[in-house]
Amino acid sequence: MSLTGKFLTKKREEIDSESADIHPFSRVKPKRKKNILIFILVFSTIFVYTAIFVMEIFPENSKKSVDKKEIPDRPKVVLQSSKKEEVKNKKEKKLDYPPINISSKELGSDIQKSIQKSKVLTLIPEKVSFKKEKTPSKKESKRDKILNYIKKGKEAEKRGDIKSAIYFYKEAWKLNKSNSDLIFKITDLHYKGGYYKATIKYANRTLKIKNDYIPAIVLKAKAYESLGMKEKSKTILEEAYFMYPENKEIILNLARLYEKERSLVIAKDLYKILDEMGYVEGSLGLARINEKLGNKDEAYRIYKKLLKRSDISKEMRYRIEEKLLILGD
């Protein structure tokens, strides 16, 4: 029997002897007290023995559990942060190098030197830099520029590119504005291109340089006629006829203008002047007017006279022969 068991039996005997002197009806309460005390003692002894048993079997876990209970959570964070700070400080101390003062140019030159010394990088070819060779620029003279522009203008004219031809002739004329041939060429191209207002403009500029330049007068009159201003055209040609009564172009254009207006008598007189001067255009016009006036015999005579000429083309000869067949008996 264990010590605790003996102790408990002695206590029971003592309690029983004491209770023998008490009134029999008062034994109920002490029994209850005795039962409670016995339960407390048994429970405490079991708890103590189990605690001792656990501490003997798991001494390390018990220490850790005690340590965990004793150390709160917040100090752990503090310790961890302090440890991190210590590690950082150690790293900073290790990386505390002296400052290096090297310029970008020096660094670049050092890199280039190291590249040149290395054997691997020397195999890579460097970028080839092409230097433009300075060719001695010959100053083109004013005369050469004019000739070049005229050549380009003629080439464009042959191609039928009237706008480009006008541009090149204008560039040549800007370098020599006293050249009446260039300005008249510009006038003629404007008329051929159907730019009649511009034709009048440049015809006037031509006449400022050379006021007796009859081709410019005729083109100016033709431009007014093309714009529907026939009276203005006729006035220009009549004024020119009085100044130059023997000029073929003025008489011919004036005769054609009167013929279009059906002023056949005036046109006949003008064509007769040209016929007497020996111009084929005058003879053809005179024969045509006689046809329109009903003078078939006179027209036949003029056509027969024209057929004898050697300076007429095959096409014109064919047309004259056709007329003679129609007008003949």
Give the residue extent of every domain in the chain: 3-57, 151-244, 250-329
Residue with tokens 């433009």: 132
Q: Fold match between 151-244 and 250-329?
A: yes
How far is Cα 299 from Cα 307, in angstroms, rounded to an integer? 12
Q: How many CB atoms lie within 10 A of CB 107?
A: 10
On the CB side of 90, CA atoms within 13 Å amount to 6
How far is Cα 175 from Cα 143, in angstroms, rounded to an integer? 9
What is the third-level CATH fold of 151-244? 1.25.40
How far is Cα 325 from Cα 322, in angstroms, rounded to an integer? 5
Structure tokens at 129: 């830099």
Average pLDDT, the chain: 77
Right CATH number for 250-329 from 1.25.40.10, 3.30.1490.20, 3.40.47.10, 3.40.50.720? 1.25.40.10
Q: Give the lowest-confidence range in 31-45, 152-166, 289-303.
A: 31-45
* pLDDT tops 50 at residue 123: no
**pLDDT class for 1, splitting at 50, 70, 90?**
low
**What pLDDT, in 10s, does the model give residues 203-255?**
999 999 998 899 999 999 999 999 999 999 999 999 999 999 989 999 999 99
* pLDDT tops 70 at residue 105: no
Contact (Cβ atoms closer than 8 angstroms) between residue 327 and residue 290? no
